[in-house]
């Protein structure tokens, strides 16, 4: 665990064990929901910076990290969203902001619709905008599955370079250490849901201040997607990180925080 984390803990919420890391401990609460194959600890370097201003809780989404996993769980978007609602209720957090990356942003959208009074605002970081009849998600499923299967046998930072060639050795080392905790069926379900579960109809239902952060080099959200998002949710704030790939903080750490600005505390 990062030395900057206050502690890691587990809470029983929405019928499962949810593991989280807490950073900061002061200021407004922020719940950070990582993406499809990112256990909570891999977002520690971002949480450390956020913790300078906020009380940050980073989740292990079901089927990842140290949270409940296995063949008996539902890994669909609605279940993951219900986990976030249950997590906030179980800890008694008072209207936290949600910051979700990729799949985590989709979870944040669905959670905020399910329990609008539970949250205060949404920072949506480069969410997949695929869906029925839409452009496919640019990453391919074998990229996830092959790396997970290799991690189950043990892999090094050098091995991880084949999957994440632009990452630092420290970043690749951490991913190599924790990727084996990503349960393959959970990842496959989430990836398939990127193409089956359209989040665009959710956008007009949002009642919270919302930000959409777009990775300029990510290829996930394109100009036509931004226009559709704006048409469905005119109040949304759209920011861009020109030099960021989909894993924005990994590619442009300072650019990520410049784009985020003071949105979480406004």
* Cα separations in angstroms, 231 against 10, 90, 96, 225, 236: 40, 36, 27, 10, 10
Residue 205 within a domain:
yes
| pTM of structure | 0.97
CATH number for position 82? 3.40.50.1820
Give the Cβ contact number of residue 72 at 10 Å: 6
Residue 177 within a domain:
no
Q: What confidence tens digit (pLDDT) does each residue in 103-145 have? A: 999 999 999 999 999 999 999 999 999 999 999 999 999 999 9
Residue 91 within a domain:
yes
Phi and psi dihedrals of 69, rounded to 5? Answer: -150, 180
Residue 173 within a domain:
no
Q: What confidence tens digit (pLDDT) does each residue in 12-31 have? A: 999 999 999 999 999 999 99
Residue 228 within a domain:
yes
What is the share, in percent, of the chain residues with pLDDT greater than 90? Answer: 98
Residue 160 within a domain:
no
Q: Domain residues for 96?
A: 5-137+198-265
Residue 3 pLDDT > 80, yes or no?
A: no
Residue 226 within a domain:
yes
Q: Could you give the CA distance from residue 242 to residue 255 in angstroms, rounded to a whole number?
A: 8
Residue 234 within a domain:
yes
DSSP code, position 134: S
Name the pairing type of β-strands 5-13 and 16-23.
antiparallel
H or E element: which one contains 18? Answer: strand 16-23
Report the number of distinct structural domains present in the chain: 1
């Amino acid at each position: 665990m990062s030395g900057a984390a206050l502690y890691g803990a587990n809470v029983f919420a929405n019928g499962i064990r949810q593991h989280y890391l807490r950073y900061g401990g002061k200021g407004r609460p922020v719940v950070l929901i990582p993406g499809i194959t990112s256990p909570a600890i891999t977002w520690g370097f971002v949480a450390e910076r956020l913790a300078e201003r906020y009380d940050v809780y980073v989740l292990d989404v079901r089927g990842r990290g140290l949270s409940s996993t296995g063949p008996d769980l539902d890994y669909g978007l609605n279940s993951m969203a219900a986990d976030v609602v249950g997590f906030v209720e179980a800890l008694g957090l008072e209207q936290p902001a949600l910051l979700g990356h990729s799949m985590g942003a989709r979870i944040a959208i669905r959670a905020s619709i399910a329990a609008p009074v539970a949250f205060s605002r949404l920072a949506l970081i480069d969410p997949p905008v695929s869906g029925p009849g839409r452009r496919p998600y640019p990453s391919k499923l074998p990229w996830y599955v092959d790396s997970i299967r290799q991690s189950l046998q043990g892999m090094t930072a050098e091995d991880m370079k084949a999957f994440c060639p632009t990452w630092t050795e420290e970043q690749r080392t951490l991913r190599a250490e924790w990727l084996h905790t990503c349960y393959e069926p959970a990842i496959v379900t989430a990836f398939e849901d990127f193409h089956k579960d359209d989040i665009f109809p959710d956008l007009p239902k949002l009642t919270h201040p919302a930000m959409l952060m777009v990775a300029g080099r990510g290829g996930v959200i394109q100009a036509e997607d931004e226009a559709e998002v704006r048409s469905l949710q005119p109040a949304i704030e759209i920011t861009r990180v020109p030099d960021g790939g989909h894993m924005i903080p990994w590619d442009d750490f300072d650019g990520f925080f410049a784009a985020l600005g003071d949105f979480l505390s406004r």
